[in-house]
Amino acid sequence: MEEQLTLFPIDTEFEVSKERTTSDKIQLVSFRELIYEITDTGYLTHAIVSYPAKFIPQVVRYAINTYTKEDDWIIDPFAGSGTVGVEAYLCKRNAILYDLNLLLNHIMPLKVYRGEERLSKEHLCNLLDSMQNNQTPPFTPAWSNVEYWYAPEILTLLSQYWGFVHNIDQDVYAGIIKAALIKVSKRFSYTEHRTPKLARSKRKLAAIDELLQQNWQEQLNQIVHDHCLKTLTDINNFMMHTRHHQNQVEFQGGVDSSYIEVPRECDTLITSPPYLQAQEYIRSTKLDLFWLGHTEDEVRELSRLEIPYRKADRIIHTETLDKVREKLTRKDLINRLDSYFCHTINALENAMNRLKPNAAACIFVGNPRIDGITVELWRILSEYWTERGFSHEKVYEDRIKTRQLFGVRKNKNPDGMKSEFLLILRKTDA
Ligand SMILES: C[S@@+](CC[C@H](N)C(=O)[O-])C[C@H]1O[C@@H](n2cnc3c(N)ncnc32)[C@H](O)[C@@H]1O
């Protein structure tokens, strides 16, 4: 996700409002400035697969440096593409990751790969040659709508390549090829590949038509080849950096965190919950999920569980949240707000209940708007947990100049979010 930061002086504290208490002190920061050693948000294995609304690794690294120590267990109930897992392992911490999206199960074995030996470029290139001359049966996604998204000749070639990769040993090399095929399966489809959302556009239809007049097959093969070799290098570099690390990264995709039972006590929570207005992670990645072999039923069930598209089973009350609710007039928006807070808080609570005494919970959120009303997420979460065994330690504000989450959004917040906040809560009960 591209974003441009306006730089602010580090460690500047100011009060948001005179009437409010000292717990409102917000520390303006630039996480990119604070963690200057990370210069590229996609460094090492972070960029193997693109994912909507990813954490920038600098935020995670800052939380790890400040609120954890070596061999600690970090929990992330909204792990997405697993940024917390990668940073934890790089910093000799353990991590336990959950996400509704099944992609996590495909991505993590690559992102935190731990092999004895460097991966072989020669072996990978041999596999790619075999893929291009492959005679194994083609693979067609179990998706009734697949033809809507592809030109017939492109679909035939992709089915041949996916047929090959599903039929070889399911090892790290197969994972590398799948990551590259995910990229071209989107790039060569009728959906706009620059925005996460699945959307057929006139522009893209015209672009594919033009491509079909050219050497499109060579272009596709070249992208697959380059992506595979880059991933192989990234994984080898990751292995070099972590060759003496003995930590564990446990992960479970396809899990509804609102109802998980966490099997162990943890030392810290680091997470970024879904956005209130733009939760389309499953829809955005469904092309990938179908090609990876998941069925229409599985994908439909996951979409149904996505926050906030399901009924709230309890209504959350805090001072700030109740004020927002009172201002809303549309019933559908009140329902969405209630659903969002019910399930987001359920998921966080399942993880936070398993934190050890004195542990920190680091929650990274934006300040979304609903029907033009700003929803101060960090304040609502802080109000909720300060009545339930946590103290409010701090809020960092990372101000962003531009940010595109899911392309152009038709809501009353044309500027998008201006800031993101890292809320730090501290577990006080014994
Ligand atoms: C802001 S994203 C997290 C991105 C992640 N920090 C990263 O760096 O890739 C929020 C995540 O919440 C997940 N999510 C939505 N509803 C969920 C649910 N009911 N249970 C678990 N995860 C859910 C989405 O799939 C999405 O990956």
β partners of residue 73: 94
Q: Closest residue (by CA) to atom 7 of ligand 1?
A: 54
User: What's the confidence (pLDDT) of residue 278?
Assistant: 59
Of all atoms in ligand 1, which is nearest to the CA of residue 51? Answer: 9
Q: How far is the CA of 422 from the centre of ligand 1 (A)?
A: 16
Task: For residue 252, give the H/E element and its range.
Answer: strand 249-253
Query: What's the pLDDT score for residue 378?
Result: 97
* Residue 361 CA, ligand 1 centroid: distance in Å: 17
Which residue, judged by its Cα, is nearest atom 10 of ligand 1? Answer: 274
* Alpha-carbon separation of residue 16 from 19, 25, 398 (angstroms): 9, 7, 15
Within 8 A by CB and 6+ apart from 418, the residues are 367, 399, 400
Nearest to residue 83, comparing CAs of 94, 72, 97, 69?
97
Q: What is the pTM of this model?
A: 0.91
Residue nearest to atom 5 of ligand 1 (CA): 80
Contacts of 242 (CB under 8 A, 6+ apart): 89, 90, 114
Give the model's pLDDT for residue 195. 77
3-state secondary structure of 367: coil
Of 384, 391, 342, 344, the residue nearest 364 (C-alpha): 344
Q: Where are the domains of the chain?
A: 3-114+249-279+309-427, 121-240
Q: What is the dihedral of CA 30, 111, 284, 99, to 10 degrees?
A: -90
CA distances to 185, 208, 213, 349, 375 from 192, rounded to whole Å, are 12, 11, 19, 37, 30
DSSP-derived pairing of the beta strands 355-366 and 419-427 = antiparallel
75 strand-pairing partners: 96, 269
CB 427 within 8 A of CB 389: yes
Nearest alpha-carbon partner for 269 in 337, 176, 349, 204: 349
Give whole-number Cα distances, 6 to 3, 9, 192, 283, 398, in Å: 10, 10, 29, 32, 9
Flag residues of the chain having pLDDT under 70. Answer: 1-24, 278-279, 401-417, 429-430
Residue 405: per-residue pLDDT: 46
Residue 400 has a pLDDT of: 73
At residue 10, the pLDDT reads 33
The preferred substitution site among 41, 58, 78, 81 for testing ligand 1, maximizing ligand atoms within 8 Å of CB, is: 78
| Residue 279 C-beta-side C-alpha neighbours within 13 Å | 25
Span from the CA of 47 to the centroid of ligand 1 (angstroms): 17
pLDDT given for residue 411 in this prediction: 42
8 alpha carbon – ligand 1 mean position (Å): 29
Structure tokens at 182: 């995910």
Three-state secondary structure of 15-26: CCCCCCCHHHCE
* Contact residues of ligand 1, CB 6 A cut-off: 51, 53-55, 78-81, 83, 98-101, 256-258, 272, 274, 281, 305-307, 343, 347
Which ligand 1 atom is at minimum distance from the Cα of 279? 15
Task: Identify the CATH homologous superfamily for domain 3-114+249-279+309-427.
Answer: Vaccinia Virus protein VP39 (3.40.50.150)
- CB–CB of 267/96 below 8 Å? no
Take atom 6 of ligand 1 and give the residue whose Cα is closest.
55
